[in-house]
Structure formats: C-alpha cells, structure tokens
Amino acid sequence: MYAAPAATTIDATGEYVAFIGNIAIDGQATSKTLDTTGSSSITFAVGVNPVFDDATSVFTVGLQGVDNTTGFPVRPDGTWAARSVVTTAVNTTPTLTTSSDYHVAIPTLGSSTLSHGDQVCIVLEMTTSGVAATSSLGVNYSSGILNATNVNPAGVTNISGSVANILASSPSILITFSDGTLGWIDGSRFAPTAVTGTALTWTDGSATDEYGLIFQVPWACSIDALGLPIRLVDGTSDFNFDLNSAAESSPASLISGPITKDAQNFALAASLGGGIYPITPVNLAANTDYCISMKATGAGNIRIERYNIPVATARPLITPAGTTVRGVTRAGGSGAFGSSQNLLLPPFAVRISDIASSGGSGMLYRAQGTIS
C-alpha cells in the first residue's frame, strides 16, 4: 500500500514527535557511530511552510533512550545522546526557514554507537519556541505501516504536555553514520512531503506524457503480470502500459505492447487504485535493465504517487532492486527514455511466475516499493 504523507505540528516549547523501533543498518553492520564527525547526519522532512524566525527559538533532532515503564504509549526517556541543536542565531545545520522538503541535520553535540537491530528513539523537539515570533514545524511521517502501541515500533507525540500515539505512523528519517553507512528504523517509508509535488498528475497533452521505472532482477526468471497503482479522473483517463528492454537507448517492447486500457472500464475516480495486469510470460535475464512504463493517452488526468527518497544512495532501503532502480520519462510514445530520476520512483512492480525453471513462485517482486 502506498504510504501517504502526514505531519504533526510542533509549535510550543517542549513539544516533540518521536519514532521508536529497531534500527536497520546497511549490511547488518555493528558498532556504527553517529557524532559530530565525518558524514554524521540525520535527514528528516518537515511540513508546509515551516516557521523558525525568532532568535531565541531552539529545535533539537537526535537520539534519546526509551522509557518502557511509564505507561502507554512507549516514549522517549528525555536523555539526549547524539543530536543537532538548531537555533535561529546559527540556523545553518539545517536552515529550517527555507523549504518544506528534506532537511539534513548535522549533530552538534553527543555521540551514539549503534548496531543493527538495536532499539532506538529518534526525537524531533521544539526545545524553545521564541517569544517574539512563534516557531512552527510540521514533522512529516508516512501512514499505514507501524503500529503505535506499547510494543515497538511506535510513533508518539507530546503536544501541550500530553504524550499520545500516532496511529499507523512510519518515520521518513534517515541516519548517516560518521563513516557514511546508512541506518533507518525498520518499517520506515520515504513518502513525498507536502510540497515536493511527488503526487504526479498528467494527461496525453502534457509535455511529458509517459513515466517509467528502470529495474533489474538478481536472477534469471519469468514474469506474468505488471503492477500499476493509479488514480483516474473520469472516462477519458485512458492509458497504455508497456515493458521494454534497452529503454534508455533503443526501446523494444517485450509484451507486444503497448497494452491499451480504456478508463471507462475502471471506477477509480475517487481513490487510489490500480491492480495486477496479467501478461504473456516474459523471460528476464539477471542484472539487466528493464523498464515498466505508463503513458497517458486521453484528455483526463491519470495520477501516480512516487516515492521521494532523501538521497540516491538510500534506494536499497525501499527496494530489493538496490541502486539499479531509477525513474525515467518520455514524450510522444517513441524513442529513448531519459531524464533519470534517482530520488523520485514510481511504485511499479512485476509478478514473478518462475525462477530459473525451478517452478512457479507467484511472488510479487517489488521493483520499487509496495504497490497500491
């Protein structure tokens, strides 16, 4: 299911949003340090129109311990470890007034050493909200994956002195350790923020009328369906889809495509939908680029929701395709695909029916993300 973005506003002294769970570290690494040296950083997203204008305002993002004993819900214990303390007097790591997109906070105090699987608590707190102009930040997260209960992982807020759970919340936060190794809370989902425009809507008349996803499979296999999550506006939201080899040089359809779909056969005007579309089985080679694409062919809008990941090297966090996966675009339905997009990935998928002649598996290989 696509993880829709949401935000909780913190705009008073002492208010915070926290995410608690077990950390996954790339390569299942151990003893990785987050501190004030090297590549250390915490990347997070804020909501629409952040305000951080008063010279006395202080915002802190970092790690705390976990209080598992006070009661429901589980919460931070109030003791900071590695953290970035941002003030408007020295508002550079990150500059919180400039945008509502991802921000990279460089720790200014403390040190934390973590291993794959450790319990962590990432806290974003309005430590002091200035008196001359109230500071306000919407801390972004995704919905629909973590259970906010007293069993980790969980998302919680402390708004106006009351600690409460964030129902079905999932952090969009990335930790980079001092040596460049990446870490994230298990179950993290990197969904669009409220302003980046990654909910993509287009028609046949748009300058770019086709969006695709380049992917690879790690072993020889056969596929028998494509997964395409979409939202249609009305009966004129017609579209084609295709599967190509050599998409960025000399595209060649592998399914005798494109396959034409008439929007009048769908009832998706009000909500995100789509489905699994069977195709004649196609053999895919290991470690070879293929492209799933969708092209608008009517006057009505079609829409997809693309994942907006913070850095290109974080692609393995959300897809088994790793760093080989990337978004591409095309216009007019012919010629090579271009404009590779490493940070904006449409959630297309293929269904694997056979792996190297070992018998049908029927599993869905997520070329990118989880399909809607």
pLDDT tens string 316-370 = 766 666 778 889 999 999 999 998 887 788 888 898 888 864 444 445 455 543 3
Q: Average of pLDDT values for 25-47? A: 91
Q: Coil, strand or helix: which one is 3? A: coil
Residues 223 and 149 in one domain: no
pLDDT attached to residue 74: 83
Residues 229 and 80 in one domain: no
Task: Find the range with the poorest average confidence among 93-97, 124-128, 224-228.
Answer: 93-97
Distance from C-alpha of 363 to C-alpha of 220, rounded to nearest angstrom: 14
Residues 163 and 222 in one domain: no
Q: Domain for residue 324, yes or no?
A: yes
What token pair was written down for 243? 């599967």
What token pair was written down for 204? 């046949």
pLDDT attached to residue 45: 78
Residues 95 and 219 in one domain: no
Q: How many domains does the chain have?
A: 2
Q: Domain for residue 192, yes or no?
A: no
pLDDT greater than 60 at residue 13: yes
Q: Domain for residue 370, yes or no?
A: no
Under a CB-based contact definition with an 8 Å cutoff, are residues 42 and 107 in contact? yes
When comparing pLDDT for 285 and 87, which is higher? 285
Residues 226 and 266 in one domain: yes
Model confidence band, residue 208 (pLDDT cutoffs 50, 70, 90): very high
- Compute CA 197 distance to the chain's CA centroid, rounded to the nearest angstrom: 13
Amino acid identity of 40? S
When comparing pLDDT for 199 and 248, which is higher? 248
Distance from C-alpha of 178 to C-alpha of 112, rounded to nearest angstrom: 10
Residues 69 and 132 in one domain: yes
Nearest to 23 by CA among 32, 35, 11, 14: 32
Distance from C-alpha of 23 to C-alpha of 169, rounded to nearest angstrom: 16
Residue bearing tokens 């980079």: 176
Under a CB-based contact definition with an 8 Å cutoff, are residues 6 and 147 in contact? no
CB atoms within 10 A of CB 115: 13
pTM greater than 0.75 (yes/no): no
Peptide bond into 278 cis (omega under 30): no
Residues 18 and 140 in one domain: yes
Burial environment of residue 1 by CB neighbours within 10 A (0 to 12, 13 to 18, 19 or more): middle
Choosing from 125, 159, 185, the residue where a domain stops is 185
Residues 78 and 169 in one domain: yes
Q: Domain for residue 297, yes or no?
A: yes
Q: Domain for residue 194, yes or no?
A: no
Residues 210 and 178 in one domain: no
Average pLDDT, rounded, for the chain: 80
Choosing from 155, 185, 215, the residue where a domain stops is 185
Distance from C-alpha of 223 to C-alpha of 287, rounded to nearest angstrom: 15
Distance from C-alpha of 238 to C-alpha of 235, rounded to nearest angstrom: 7
7: part of which helix (H) or strand (E)?
A: strand 5-10
Q: Domain for residue 191, yes or no?
A: no
Residues 263 and 159 in one domain: no
pLDDT greater than 50 at residue 144: no
Identify the domain containing residue 293 by its residue range.
199-365
pLDDT greater than 60 at residue 108: yes
Distance from C-alpha of 200 to C-alpha of 247, rounded to nearest angstrom: 21
Under a CB-based contact definition with an 8 Å cutoff, are residues 177 and 39 in contact? yes
Residues 205 and 318 in one domain: yes
Amino acid identity of 18? A
Q: Residue 309's domain is classified under what CATH number? A: 2.60.120
pLDDT attached to residue 359: 45
Q: Domain for residue 306, yes or no?
A: yes
Q: What percent of the chain has pLDDT over 70?
A: 75
Nearest to 28 by CA among 116, 113, 133, 93: 116
Task: Find the range with the poorest average confidence among 193-197, 200-204, 251-255.
Answer: 193-197
pLDDT greater than 80 at residue 40: yes
| pLDDT tens for each residue of 173-184 | 899 999 999 998
Q: Domain for residue 372, yes or no?
A: no
Residues 163 and 204 in one domain: no
When comparing pLDDT for 238 and 113, which is higher? 113
Q: What percent of the chain has pLDDT over 90?
A: 35
Q: Average of pLDDT values for 16-45? A: 92
Distance from C-alpha of 157 to C-alpha of 73, rounded to nearest angstrom: 10
Choosing from 137, 153, 185, the residue where a domain stops is 185
